[in-house]
Amino acid sequence: MKKESKFLDIGKRVLGTIYIPALMYILITIIAKANGITYFGDGNTLRNIVLDTAATATIAYALATQIKNGRFDFSGGAIMTLGALVSIYFASNHAHDGVAFLVINVIVCMVLSLLVAVFYTYGKIPIIICTVGAAIFFESLTLIFNGGQGATISNDAALNFLGKKMGPSLVLVCISAVIYFVYHNLTRAGKQSDLLANNQLAAVNIGIHEKRNVIGSFLVSGALYGIASVVFASQSFQIDVVTSVLGTVSTAFGAMLPVFMGFYIGSFSTGAVGILFSSLTVGILDYGIKVIAPTGYAGAFKNVVMALFMVFFYLASRKGPKIVKWMEEKKAWKDAAKKTRQAA
């Protein structure tokens, strides 16, 4: 009996983890076929979905590290952009190697994230003001670094293969997932960060060093931003300097949907797995929009669909269980009333 119950529990967890991306793929396939689009589902589809998933997941892991602790980091996009510019410059002129490009990017992004953490913790500045200010500052540095020339590695196979090919992209996603899982589930600092997020006063009273923990979490998210920056740079034709204020915010916050969806899917397994499968869902949706949307309208169509999907998912995940419970209670009340009448 216990064995059957265990298998049933595993089945529910597996189903809860995969049903959203599976339904999304089926839905996009039906819409594509109904519109006479036959190439969705061919060999090239897998590659495009994997690359879209990698770009989304690597950013989502970095964002989730701070959001899980109740902090919204608006500097992530600027960190990724400046990190890409600096690492491309040094890797192209000195190392000319993909691994060196990754290592330099991770180090640069960790340093930038550390600066944000120091200003936040020791300056006692509200997190929104601190990260918005950091984003503007880092964006300004893109106009100064290397004469504000921008950078490109679109034609440099020695550097861009990490984000352009399925194998290396999946490896980077796995590395990000492992870092996220190990930090939040296996390290003392990760568990303490959860305590601080749930009850800051109680956590500090039992001896948790809050400033040290915050700086540690920003270092972890900085490393994850570094990995995301490599994928971002590899898949972009050009890394441009940032001329508009907060022009980089959308770079990172485009992964907001898979973060919140990942928290829900992660309730069936772990947060790391949840973010992976939520990013897969968004990857399928993203590529599906590119295939289905009218020529020239893919960008606008994507924004509308993503916004509607986020609202729908919130209502389904948050309000759905309450509606189901209300319907069950209503049914139970009707059944009880029917039995009472029959007994009378």
What is the DSSP secondary-structure string of 266-328?
A: GGGS-HHHHHHHHHHHHHHHHHHHHHHSPTT-HHHHHHHHHHHHHHHHHIIIIIHHHHHHHHH
Q: Is 140 inside any structural domain?
A: yes
**Nearest of 287, 218, 286, 237 to residue 76 by alpha carbon:** 218
Q: Is residue 261 part of a domain?
A: yes
Q: Say if residue 146 is in the same domain as residue 240.
A: yes
Q: Are residues 175 and 315 in the same domain?
A: no
Boundary (domain end) residue, out of 258, 274, 292: 292
Same domain, 235 and 287: yes
CATH number, domain of 66, equals: 1.10.3470
* Same domain for 173 and 222: yes
- Same domain flag for 257 and 308: no
Q: Same domain for 125 and 273? A: yes
Report the distance separating Cα 334 and Cα 339, nearest Å. 9
Same domain, 288 and 256: yes
* Residue 158 sits in the same domain as residue 218: yes
Q: Are residues 46 and 160 in the same domain?
A: yes
CA nearest to 264, candidates 325, 190, 319: 319
Do 288 and 304 belong together in one domain? no
Q: Are residues 318 and 233 in the same domain?
A: no
Listed in sequence order, the residues at least 6 apart from 93 whose beta carbon sits closer than 8 Å to its beta carbon are none
Angle at 206 (CA atoms; ends 129, 113), nearest 5 degrees: 30
> How much is the pTM?
0.88
Q: Tens digit of pLDDT per residue, the chain (344 long)?
A: 556 677 778 888 889 899 999 999 999 999 999 988 888 888 788 899 999 999 999 999 999 999 988 888 999 999 999 999 999 989 888 877 888 899 999 999 999 999 999 999 999 899 999 999 999 999 999 999 988 888 888 777 777 777 778 899 999 999 999 999 999 999 999 888 888 887 777 887 788 888 999 999 999 999 999 999 999 988 886 788 888 888 888 888 778 889 989 998 998 989 999 999 999 999 999 898 888 877 666 666 677 777 777 777 766 666 655 655 665 666 667 666 666 666 65
Which domain covers residue 224, as residue numbers? Answer: 16-292
Letter for the amino acid at 93?
A: N
In this structure, is residue 281 part of a structural domain?
yes
Is there a single domain that holds both residue 279 and residue 316? no
Q: Report the domain count for the chain.
A: 2
**10 falls within a domain:** no
Q: How far apart are CA 338 and CA 67, in angstroms?
A: 49
